[in-house]
């Protein structure tokens, strides 16, 4: 027998303070029959939900549009049985001045931050030569520069929360697009893919930079999860049923997949995990999709 004194609390977030960027799901999308999801979709909302259900005391969520933030806060605070609460703060995670304002508003409510989830992301798809410069700027400003500044400006609050035995946590929501070349041609997402490669490598750099300050940093790389951001590409690729067939697990991601993966990274049980990229795609990035079926 081994002594596992922490076992019962591996995923217990009682008393923790968290912030999730890109929390609100807009617009609500009909839930497909293969999921048991109770409602709206969007990876940030799944994450905020799991943090509250795991006992978090305060979960700040932020996005640009006030109605979306308010809608998400109302949904989260109606979760049955939670002891904590969600607080919404509208802000753009791509604008340094707005991130500074966000830090100030968080400090008005909580003196320190245990968990920072950099989830908000932007994408753009289209042919390579015609890529407008504004689209590249938008993608990099949020997915790379914004995440860099978000973590940088919250580091003082994260440092206050972290201890040697209970480090504070940063999770960067990256993408499998950061490690494979997913989409080229007419619906190419090359700059998105590059930005996610950078986001994943940013997490590794921060793991080494911030580890000695009792802050761990990891990235989470989802495959397809139906959402506003992903739905256009999912349709272009033949719809959810085609993508499900091509996935080794024969389905797309569901909210529970995200909730469980994040709790592993931010819960007490994951406190020695630092600098990893957790792929969450059912194994789909390891395949060649239809190519694997071709009989030579």
Residue 262 as a binder of ligand NAP (CB under 6 A): the answer is no
Alpha carbons 110 and 65: distance in angstroms, whole number: 23
Map residues 63-102 to x or -, x wherever contact with ligand NAP holds by CB under 6 A: xxx--x-----------------------xxx--------
Could you give the maximum distance between any two Cα atoms of the chain, in Å?
64
How far apart are alpha carbons 200 and 190 in whole angstroms? Answer: 15
Q: What is the SS3 assignment for 96?
A: helix
Residues 22-51 that bind ligand NAP (CB under 6 A): 22-25, 42-44
Please, what is the minimum distance in Å from the beta carbon of residue 237 to ligand NAP? 11
Min dist CB 60 to ligand NAP, Å, is 12
Active site residues: 192
Choose which of 53, 230, 261, 262 interacts with ligand NAP (CB under 6 A).
Answer: 230
Residue 37 CB neighbours (<10 A): 14
Q: Assess 105 for contact with ligand NAP (CB under 6 A).
A: no
Within residues 106-125, the interface with ligand NAP by CB under 6 A covers 119-122
Residue closer to ligand NAP by CB (options 56, 118) is 118
Instruction: Answer whether 233's CB lies under 8 Å from 189's CB.
Output: yes
Contact residues for 61 (Cβ-Cβ < 8 A; gap 6+): 19, 20, 21, 23, 24, 44, 48, 69, 72, 73, 76, 86, 87, 88, 89
Q: Which residues bind ligand NAP (CB under 6 A)?
A: 21-25, 42-44, 62-65, 68, 92-94, 119-122, 142, 173, 175, 222, 224-225, 227-230
């Amino acid at each position: 027998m081994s002594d596992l004194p922490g076992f019962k609390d591996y995923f217990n977030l009682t008393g923790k303070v968290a912030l999730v960027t890109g929390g609100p799901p807009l617009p609500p999308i009909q839930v497909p029959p293969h999921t048991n999801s109770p409602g709206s979709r969007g990876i940030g909302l799944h994450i905020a939900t799991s943090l509250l259900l795991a006992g978090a005391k305060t979960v700040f969520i932020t996005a640009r549009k006030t109605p979306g933030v308010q809608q998400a806060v109302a949904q989260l605070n109606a979760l049955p049985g939670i002891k904590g609460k969600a607080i919404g703060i509208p802000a753009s995670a791509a604008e340094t001045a707005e991130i500074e304002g966000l830090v100030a508003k968080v400090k008005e409510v909580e003196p320190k931050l245990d968990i920072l989830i950099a989830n908000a992301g932007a994408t753009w798809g289209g042919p390579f030569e015609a890529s407008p410069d504004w689209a590249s700027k938008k993608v990099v400003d949020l997915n790379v520069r914004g995440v860099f500044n978000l973590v940088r400006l919250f580091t003082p609050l994260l440092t206050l929360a972290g201890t040697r035995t209970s480090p504070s946590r940063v999770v960067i929501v990256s993408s499998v697009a950061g490690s494979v070349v997913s989409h080229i041609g007419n619906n190419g997402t090359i700059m998105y893919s590059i930005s996610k490669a950078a986001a994943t490598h940013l997490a590794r750099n921060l793991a080494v930079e911030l580890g000695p300050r009792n802050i761990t940093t990891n990235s989470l790389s989802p495959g397809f999860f139906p959402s506003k951001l992903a739905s256009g590409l999912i349709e272009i690729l033949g719809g959810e049923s085609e993508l499900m067939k091509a996935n080794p697990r024969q389905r797309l991601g569901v909210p529970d997949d995200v909730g469980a993966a994040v709790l592993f990274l931010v819960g007490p049980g994951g406190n020695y995990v630092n600098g990893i990229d957790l792929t969450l795609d059912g194994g789909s990035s390891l395949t060649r999709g239809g190519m694997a079926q071709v009989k030579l």
